[in-house]
Amino acid sequence: MAAHTLLDKPLQFSSLLAISLFLFLVPSIAELQRFQQSAKADGSLSFLVIGDWGRHGLYNQTEVALQMGTIGEKLDIDFIISTGDNFYEDGLTGTDDPAFNESFIDIYKAKSLQKLWYNVLGNHDYRGDVEAQLSPILREKDSRWICSRSYIVNAEFVDFFFIDTTPFVDKYFINPGNQTYDWKGILPRYQYLSRTLEDLDSALKDSKANWKIVIGHHTIKSAGHHGVTEELLVHLLPILEAHSVDFYVNGHDHCLEHITSSDSKIQFLTSGGGSKAWRGDINWWNPDELKLYYDGQGFMSFQMTQNTADMAFYDVLGNILHKWSISKEAISTM
């Protein structure tokens, strides 16, 4: 890789903090790409969330996909969300990489999963030809596939904000080790991150939806192997809190997890159990906040209406590990 210029060099917290503060003073003129998603005729919305999955069916990926198909049919889901790390170990080599078939098309074959898949990129995706996953060629191969760096899905009473979190993480730039990352479209990094935060801030401010859900690959709060992502805690979380986001949903830690917070209304949800899991490590977290930590494979579901949200976490056998319900009335009194 070529040496970074001064504009491309890793950003420390103080630089990005200035960006975050600047966003609240200057209106945005940029706009994220938007997709429209219809709710059901009865006004409800159902979907599944899976992350960290693409391993050619190995590490129980196929078994998780089977249970997703069963639960997806039972809930009559409208779409699927992927929280990133879509193809291991090093993303796709190009749009003709057989991994797209072997890890996606050939695995998620159930009738109920033949719905749109809204994907974000993870750090492993950036270790391949990242633009391959963004290419319309993949959509031509499988019409379910939707992937962009950052974008919005308007689903009537819910707005989903998909955010490209990998470029926020300093270590991928400062100390990548033996890994090579595809930063095409990212450099100069300062400008890319500034624009991403500005676009999100503006879109959240303009949202009139009852529910706001932000999806990114990296954790904000987690008791798992990777733990807290400090860059997002410092720079992304204040924007989410300022605009009353209801849920932050991520992958990255290969587990299933639900964290509440005594100082925030946001529910922090990890769905990163799409294949390889069972790391066997967990960091201490306040038990009053840690509602679920499951160090294994699985996925989660949402069932939503204008005023209610019901979520559930499932293991590789389809057993329910944890359920949580919340209403807009309850949130307004928190």
Give residue-wise pLDDT tens across range 268-298: 999 999 999 998 889 999 999 999 999 999 9
- Residue 322 a catalytic site member: no
Range of lowest pLDDT (102-106, 149-153, 173-177, 325-329): 325-329
Q: Is 258 annotated as a binding residue?
A: no
Average pLDDT, the chain: 92
Domains of the chain: 6-332 (3.60.21.10)
- Written in H, E and C, the secondary structure of the chain is CCCCCHHHCCCCHHHHHHHHHHHCCCCCCCCCEEEECCCCCCCCEEEEEECCCCCCCCCCHHHHHHHHHHHHHHHCCCEEEECCCCCCCCCCCCCCCCHHHHHHHCCCCCHHHCCEEEECCCCCHHHCCHHHHHCHHHHHHCCCEEECCCEEEEECCEEEEEECCHHHCCHHHHCCCCCCCCCCCCCCHHHHHHHHHHHHHHHHHHCCCCEEEEEECCCCCCCCCCCCCHHHHHHCHHHHHHCCCCEEEECCCCCEEEEEECCEEEEEEEECCCCCCCCCCCCCCCCCCEEEEECCCEEEEEEECCCEEEEEEEECCCCEEEEEEEEHHHHHCC
Determine which one of 4, 124, 225, 226 is catalytic: 226
Q: What's the pTM value of the predicted model, to 2 decimals?
A: 0.92
pLDDT for 99 equals 98
Q: Is 88 annotated as a binding residue?
A: yes
User: Confidence band (pLDDT; 50, 70, 90) for 262?
Assistant: confident
pLDDT for 334 equals 56
Give residue-wise pLDDT tens across range 31-63: 899 999 999 999 999 999 999 999 999 999 999
pLDDT for 169 equals 98
Q: Is 217 annotated as a binding residue?
A: yes
